[in-house]
Amino acid sequence: MAFARAARRPIGVFFYSASGRFSSGHEYSTVASKLESLSHYKNSVSHGYASPVRGFGKFLRSFSSEAVSDQMSLIKQLRQRTSAPIKDVKASLVECNWDLEAAQKDLRKRGKVLASKKSSRTAAEGMLAVAQNEGKVAVIELNCETDFVARNDIFQYLALAMAKRALLVENSSQQVSGVLPFGPELFQELKLNLDHPKVNGETTVSNAVTEVAAIMGENVKFRRGFLLSKSSAGVLSAYLHTSPQPGLGRIAGIVSLEVEGENTQLEAVQRVGSELAMHVVAAKPLFLSKELVSSEAIANEREILKSQAESTAKSQMAVEKMVEGRLRKYFEEVALMEQKFIVNDTINIKTLVDNLSKEVGSPVKVANFLRVEVGEGIERLEASEEPVAQTA
């Protein structure tokens, strides 16, 4: 009990009291002597020596605070360098004894392993990137799992860099105007020179995609690309819908117009080309003209239309007329030259091009067109248990 009472006293009082007992060999017996001891304690407090334990505690707290501050600074620096999730940044720093350079290397290795594990997950979101020079237009589709990542600066930078690199793909199979589609097998091992704070240096397309996937924390993949070239006398026009910045979008429309002879009025051709590229995005044509609609597509549509017409219980002659009338409507829906112009629906595209020819004084024709949309043809999951990507 006496010890318990002593333990509750201020440590300075206990210390001086105990030292007096053991040094003199007897207990304090008077009130005066006890007051003298208390006076010693107060004097020591006024000079800052009363509580060595309290002073050591302050030292520990100061040391601990500085250590935590240094660690937070390293976490911030590594996250700025890599844009990796904070939990992964901290784990790598702890693993590498808070060595910043070693942790950065460890984080890249760790991210690439995780990226390879995520490569089987559905990536139906993403961006189209378009690049153009004097004679070519390149469009590539870079996919990811969420539109959150598609809006990320690093992801968009990579998509634009890939589109610019695609312009250097040789179109040896089609020296005149045409469309050259290409997939990962042609493009993945080509070199990229990246100049972004988070991804930089010379690397292959494949490694760059893996690097960005590691940073984003979800599946990122290059799906496909297209290269359109034009003849010497012609114009290439591109339009991007839902575009966060120049050269990027979710839907791309590209049109190649050819002009016969020497023509100096290319401004009018370029104006109509831009309108046609926008029309392609909105109207979704499948073929250039009705003559180019595949026989298989016509046979399938004719069979559907005939079945619908026969359900009306009309005569065979009436059924045939109904089928032919609806087939003409089908051509107006799927063939670009037969479609109503979205800017002026009183004319179709064929009439628009004829009017352009008269305006510039030379025959103009639509040589080719292309419409590409992010994720088209990819089966999307209605509900996914995958976590939302973590990114900068």
In SS3 terms, 192-261 reads as EEEECCCCEEEEEHHHHHHHHHHHHCCCCEEEEEEEEECCCCEEEEEEEECCCCCCEECEEEEEEEEECC
Domain C-terminal end among 198, 229, 260 = 229
38 within some domain = no
d(CA 252, CA 240): 5
In tens, the pLDDT along 159-181 reads 999 999 999 887 655 444 588 99
In tens, the pLDDT along 120-141 reads 677 889 999 999 998 899 999 9
Q: Let me know whether 168 and 96 are in one domain.
A: no
Place of tokens 């025959």: 363
User: Greatest CA separation found in the chain?
Assistant: 133
107 within some domain = yes
For the chain, the domain total comes to 2
Q: Let me know whether 128 and 84 are in one domain.
A: no
- Quick one: how far is CA 257 from the chain centroid? 32
Q: Let me know whether 212 and 154 are in one domain.
A: yes
- The residue range of the domain holding 113 is 70-119
Q: Let me know whether 174 and 224 are in one domain.
A: yes
Q: Let me know whether 89 and 166 are in one domain.
A: no
88 within some domain = yes
Give 274: exposed, middle or buried? Use CB within 10 Å, 0-12, 13-18, 19+. middle
**What phi, psi does 172 have (nearest 5°)?**
-70, -25
317 within some domain = no
338 within some domain = no
Q: Which of 237, 271, 261, 250 is nearest to 368 (CA)?
A: 237
**Which residues are within 8 A (CB) of 78 and not within 5 positions of it... i.e. 6 or more apart?**
84, 89, 92, 93, 100, 103, 104, 107
In tens, the pLDDT along 108-122 reads 666 544 555 555 677
Q: Let me know whether 103 and 187 are in one domain.
A: no
79 within some domain = yes
CATH number of domain containing 168:
3.30.479.20
In tens, the pLDDT along 327-343 reads 999 999 999 999 999 99
Q: pLDDT band for position 231 (50/70/90)?
A: confident
47 within some domain = no
Q: Let me know whether 115 and 152 are in one domain.
A: no
Q: Tell me, yes or no, if the pTM score tops 0.75.
A: no
Q: Write 180-183 long-range contacts (CB < 8 A, 24+).
A: 180/226, 180/227, 180/228, 180/229, 181/224, 181/225, 181/226, 182/224, 182/225, 182/226, 182/227, 183/223, 183/224, 183/225
Domain C-terminal end among 168, 198, 229 = 229
186 within some domain = yes
Which pLDDT score is estimated for 116?
Answer: 52
In tens, the pLDDT along 275-302 reads 999 999 999 999 999 999 999 999 998 8
